[in-house]
Structures are given as C-alpha cells and as structure tokens.
Amino acid sequence: MAGKALIIVDVQPTFCEGGELGVDGGNAVAERIAAYVTAHRGEYAVIATTQDWHIEPGAHWSEHPDYVDTWPVHGKAGTPNAELHPAIRALDVAHHFKKGQYSAAYSGFEGIEDNTDRIQSREEVTAAQSAGRTLANALKTAGVTQVDVVGIAESHCVKETALDARKLGYSVTVFEDLTVPVSEELGVAARKDMAAAGITLRHS
C-alpha cells in the first residue's frame, strides 16, 4: 500500500538471548516480526531494517558501563552478532540502514543506507549522509505518510526511532507484540513517552 512504511529496528543477535546486550524475548520477537512481514509485506511501500553497526562509537562503549549512557561492546561492525537476525535476514527486504558507526545513534533516522558489510571510514559515512542516503529521504521518496515501528529494544532504539518519525510529521504506530523492552520498568516509561508524543501503541 502506497504511503505506509515498516521499520524493523535493530533485530540483531547482539540484542537477543546470548548476545552482548541480550534482551529476554529477543529471539521470539524476531520470529514474530518475520511472520508478520511474510503475512503483510504487500501493505507497505517501504520495509527497512536498522542495525547498530559500531566501528568507533566513542564513549558509547565502556569497560565500566553504567547501562544508561555507556554500554559494553555490542553491535560491533563486521561481527556475526551485528548482522541481522537470521529470521529477518531471510525476509530479503530491500532497504538496510546502518547507524552508530562513529557515535551512539539510538534512532534509525541517524543511519545511512548500506546493503553491504563494509567497514566504512568516518568520511564515507558523512558523505553518505550528505548524499541523502538516509531513512528520512527513503520515506519521503516513497511518499510515505504512515510509519509502523517494531524491533529491539522498545525502551531505547525503538522508542527513539518512533519519536523521530513523529517529529518528522509521520503518523506512527508501534506494535507492542513485535517489540520488547530491556526491562518492564523501562518499557512502561518508554510507552508513556511515546503515547505523550502522539504515537499509537497497539498489537499487530
């Protein structure tokens, strides 16, 4: 359906059980998202994935993380755990946005479109952003007006991606059964923030 996009946020082994920042329920969410896309892909003008693809993200990585602003090494570019989850990779969607190469980057709107697994220089990333290889540009080009957001983790990158979509003027829905927070407490806080911004929260 023209005018509608699905953004699959950071469904990577690094954020699933056994990963460096594994979230309980991550693998199950990946499988549910894959089933949803298989059943509904014809409804979307754009389906895009985002990935943490950290090369040198500065203080975002820490040997002594506080789990608020600093984190253990995760989503390291070029490693198996930074790849898309196998269930998502098998969907063969067209648009892939990698973020956080040289910064923290919680929102998918901070990424660049990159369908390769190359380790890019800071200059290459900046050039790609300047050239408009961004999620915002992909949605605009496709005439998108509505955005559905799913993925990991609801309390962090899903929330920030959804909030940025709202700031850009899109009608935004987060499917609560296709995402999972780091903790229930942080999930409650994230849902309050998203609802206050006018984001619709419902099951798929």
Catalytic residue among 10, 52, 148, 164: 10
Asked if 100 and 52 count as a contact pair (C-beta separation under 8 A), the reply is yes
Whether 99 is a known active-site residue: answer yes
Q: For residue 180, what are the β-bridge partners?
A: 152
- Report the 3 state secondary structure along 67-116: CCCCECCCCECCCHHHCCCHHHHCCCCCEEEEECCCCCCCCHHHCEECCC
Measured CA to CA, the distance from residue 108 to residue 160 in angstroms comes to 8
Catalytic residue among 16, 114, 157, 159: 157
Asked if 204 and 177 count as a contact pair (C-beta separation under 8 A), the reply is yes
Catalytic residue among 16, 99, 114, 159: 99
Whether 148 is a known active-site residue: answer no
Handedness of CA 181, 23, 120, 80 (dihedral sign): negative
Whether 10 is a known active-site residue: answer yes
The set of catalytic residues is: 10, 99, 157
